[in-house]
Every structure is written in structure tokens, then in C-alpha cells.
Amino acid sequence: MSGLCDGRVVVVTGAGRGLGRAHALAFAAEGARLVVNDLGVGLDGAPGADDPAERVAAEIRAAGGEAVAHGGDIAVSEVAASLVATAVETYGRLDTLVNNAGFLRDRMLVNLDEDDWDAVLRVHLKGHFLPLKHAAAHWRAETKAGRTPDARIVNTSSGAGLLGSLGQGNYSAAKAGVVGLTLVAAAELRRYGVQVNAIAPAARTRMTERTFADTMAAPSVGFDAMAPENVSPLVVWLGSSASAGVSGRVFEAEGGRITVMEGWRAGPSVDKGTRWSPREVGEAALKLLGEAEVPGMVYGA
């Protein structure tokens, strides 16, 4: 039986561990050829001593697949460009980009240093933008050359980006930005044969050890709902030709559950037809709020 991604070339960032590793292995199992990117840093972004990208690439090759490692910092434009170039030079094409790289520096807002803000926004948001930009430029050139691609981008947001999370103002802001970037990219890149979607995963990784402290231990028998491998089938499908027509959407994935997330849209409204006074607008706003749906609770609140 042929794989869902036979012949496709897939780049996965942050693929040395956790969700990224699970995604890379799942794509390879479905016949994709991989560029496995990981800078090899610690949970807080500090330099690490090992080479997880090569370790995962070797794991794929040992299982009979095709994979090369890329150890660069994808939040640097030239390095992000080299990520695309590695795929094209190695395999002759690029079909799917999975943006997954990231780390955490959690603090309550009053204790959050500017450097911690900048570092997290840099890896999560800029680290999505730059690979996306260079991949899109490649696919635009392909389209102009008469070779319209069947391309996919899968971005990684978070429930923190959709609802907020106490102690994660920097991470929540970055992940909310990923959703906005996804919507814009889906609209702009459609003409080049590119579909762009995002996931908001919940799984056991280095980044979620504290968040899911009570459920970290895998069950001895039965279904492990927090295994990162549970998220990867959705990512593989979104990254394949089978997802034709699906773009600009956000999916939540946890265990055996997937949910289409519905973002900001117009709720109750009133139009006076002229300028309000502050007292009038307050009365109107309270009435509208009484008719509106109650927002979801911020994580940790």
C-alpha cells in the first residue's frame, strides 16, 4: 500500500525531540523524504551539546526512509533560506513545511525580562515567519515558471495562543501571532498553490512538563492520551495532498480528539447611527455582553 506522502519532500523545524520528532517519523512512515531541522538547544533556548536533528535523521534512514539533518537557527533569514535550499538541492523539490521549533521562558508579566520576551517571540513567531517566507518565495518562483505546486504549510500555535496562559505572556502572544500569520499566509499564498493551516497541540514534551505534571507518566497499558505521536497524524494529513481545499484553519489536537477551532467573529452588535456618549456606550456594551457567549477561561486562572 502506498503512503499518504509518497514522493513528497517535507521540512520539519524543531524536529529533534517531542512533537517535531514525532511529526518527522510519521511523515517518513507515509513515504515522505525529510529535512530534519533542530538547533539542539535546551528548553530555555540555551546551547545544547548534542545533535538531535542528525539522531532523528539517522533513525529515519535506519528504518528505510530518506532524511537529512539541518542544524541551523531558523530565526536567522540566511539560515531559513538554507533550510529550503537543503530540501531543493537534496531532493529536487519542496512540498511541505512544518513550523514547530520553540522553547519557553515562563514568568509572570511583572517578572518577565525584556530578553525573555524577545527570545520567545523570536523563536516562535520569527521562527515561523522566516521559513514560511523563503518557502513561499520558492513556490512563487515555481508558479511563475509554470510549475504550480501542491504545497502545504502547517504552523504550530497553542491553546495558550487561543485563550492565554498565566505565566506565559510571551509564549501566548507569540502563539496568537502564529494564528494571525497563518490566516494572512493562507489568503496570500493561495494563488501559488499553497495551503496554510495551524494546529494547537496538547502533548507530553519538554515544554509541557509543568503544564501536564499530573499526567506526565505514560500508562502501563492502554492508550497514552498525552503521547506526542497522537498529534502527528493530523499534521501528516494537513501536509499531504489529501487535505486539498483545507486552508486558513486552526485545529486543536489532543489524544484521540481533534477540534476545528472557531476564532474571532462578529457577535452581538448595535449601531446608534451617530456618536455615543460614554454613559450611553457603556449601557449598550453591557447589554451586548449579556447577549454574547462567555469567553473561554485563561489557562491556569
How much is the pLDDT for 223? 85
186-214 residue pLDDT tens? 999 999 999 999 999 998 865 555 544 44
Q: Is residue 272 part of a domain?
A: no
**158 a catalytic residue:** yes
* C-alpha cell, 80: 531559513
**126 a catalytic residue:** no
How much is the pLDDT for 213? 46
**171 a catalytic residue:** yes
Q: Is residue 275 part of a domain?
A: no
Q: Which of 175, 192, 240, 243 is catalytic?
A: 175
Q: Is residue 266 part of a domain?
A: no
Q: Is residue 252 part of a domain?
A: yes
CATH of the domain at 248: 3.40.50.720
How much is the pLDDT for 47? 54
Q: Is residue 137 part of a domain?
A: yes
- Do residues 113 and 167 touch, judged by C-beta distance below 8 A? no
**What's the domain count of the chain?**
1
**C-alpha distance from residue 2 to each of 29, 31, 42, 175 (Å):** 10, 8, 37, 35
Q: Is residue 280 part of a domain?
A: no
Q: Would residue 300 be called left, alpha or beta, if left means φ above 0 and alpha means ψ between -120 and 50 degrees?
A: left
Closest C-alpha among 290, 297, 294, 10 to residue 150:
10
Q: Is residue 274 part of a domain?
A: no
Nearest 5°: the CA angle 161, 174, 52 is 105
How much is the pLDDT for 41? 67
Q: Which of 165, 171, 172, 243 is catalytic?
A: 171
Q: Is residue 61 part of a domain?
A: yes
Domain limits for position 234: 9-261
Global pTM reads 0.92
Q: State which residues of the chain have pLDDT below 70.
A: 1, 41-49, 205-221
Q: Which of 158, 172, 243, 247 is catalytic?
A: 158
260-289 residue pLDDT tens? 999 899 999 999 999 999 999 999 999 999
